[in-house]
Copies of this chain bind each other. A is one copy, B any other.
Amino acid sequence: MASKQWLVEDYEAGDLPLTSGETLHSARLRYHRIGELNAPKDNLIMLPTYYGGAAAGNHPWVEGNSPLDPDRYCIVIPALLGAGESSSPSNTAGAQRGPGFPAVSLNDNVMLQKRLVEDIFGDARIALVMGWSMGGMQALQWGCLFPTQVRAVLATCCTARCYPHNRVFLEGVKAALTCDHAFENGRYRSPPERGLRAFGRVYAGWAYSQAFFRHELWREQGFGSIEELLRFWEQDHLGQDANDLLTVLNTWQNGDISDNPVFGMDYEAALSAIAMPTRMMPCTTDLYFTEEDASEDGRRMPGATVESLESDWGHVAGGAGREAASHNRILAAARALLSGKAS
């Protein structure tokens, strides 16, 4: 694997019709790729990205002794629309720049990824689609939209739609960000720094769990105090664009795998279509993609087993390379799914 390198590529999709009826002009999908498509075209692995994360954030799932082996698989990480790498408010020219960027849905993201697979990867079969958080929502969207193309799904710390309390949590971080006068309804000339800092501070309370703070697990991340952790969250969000954050937040809040022409908001039908081997891996202490919601979704997918991550790391447990124990359990599940032993 050491011989292989990640390639950063852009897929230019032209004008992309959106679920909303609008069109995203000159849509671009940024993706990272490692490994080669084989002759039977059945070794593609898709790792869609999570909220606030760049494509490189999923690299840890492929590093080391991972079943996601670039010598064997062609691994693609497609970056979310709006998140700053693919077409986004911050990198779009003209009328769709900044607050003019159209609303993009979970379905829009996955339909664009499907076009990437068709055009660049010969409409290959997907050995595994795997994601954390919003990445997991996209994985589930892939599973129900393209059940014959997707052989297995692994979704950590996510649900198949944004449940109500999750929406309320997101209303809170949105309010904290847009409260900054410098935000100017998205027409800021310099970043709304106070709002970005507040966004990061509010978010930090939700990202982990009560037990994470109780047991001072932030020390394992190298922080000397909770205040240091909170400042890291501020800094991390100062590096992000406010309109980008709100665009993807909107995708998340409205996320529902049945909200598209195929399922027409029939949530049961969408869940029922996930009949391939699927692993739902919620974390027992996740405060917004709760174990209860994810487990209920999983029970309604014919192909799914629910395997909870017993962890104090809350939502963060399911991310690539975040908590060693959960990371290893997730990779073990991926190994089972890829070997066909997890149906």
Contact = CB atoms under 8 A, between A and B. Distances in A.
Interface of A: 163-169, 171-173, 175-176, 178-182, 194-195, 197-198, 201-206, 208-214, 216, 226, 230, 287-288, 290, 292-293
Contacts of A212: 165
A176 B178 CA distance: 9
A34 B166 CA distance: 43
Contact of A213 (B164, B175, B176): B164
22 contacts: A163-B214, A164-B216, A164-B226, A165-B209, A165-B214, A166-B210, A168-B205, A168-B230, A172-B176, A172-B204, A172-B205, A175-B201, A179-B179, A179-B180, A179-B197, A179-B198, A180-B180, A181-B182, A202-B202, A210-B288, A210-B292, A287-B287
A256 to B, nearest CB: 15
A164 B211 CA distance: 9
A197 B210 contact: no
Number of this chain's copies in the assembly equals: 2
A179 B292 CA distance: 34
Nearest to A164: B213
A182 to B, nearest CB: 7
A182 B194 CA distance: 12
A175 B176 contact: yes
Given A171-B230, A210-B290, A179 B195 contact: yes
> Which 7 residue pairs are nearest across A and B when measured between Cβ atoms?
A172-B202, A164-B213, A165-B213, A179-B198, A175-B201, A176-B176, A175-B198
A181 B184 CA distance: 12
B292 A165 contact: no
Contacts of A209: 165
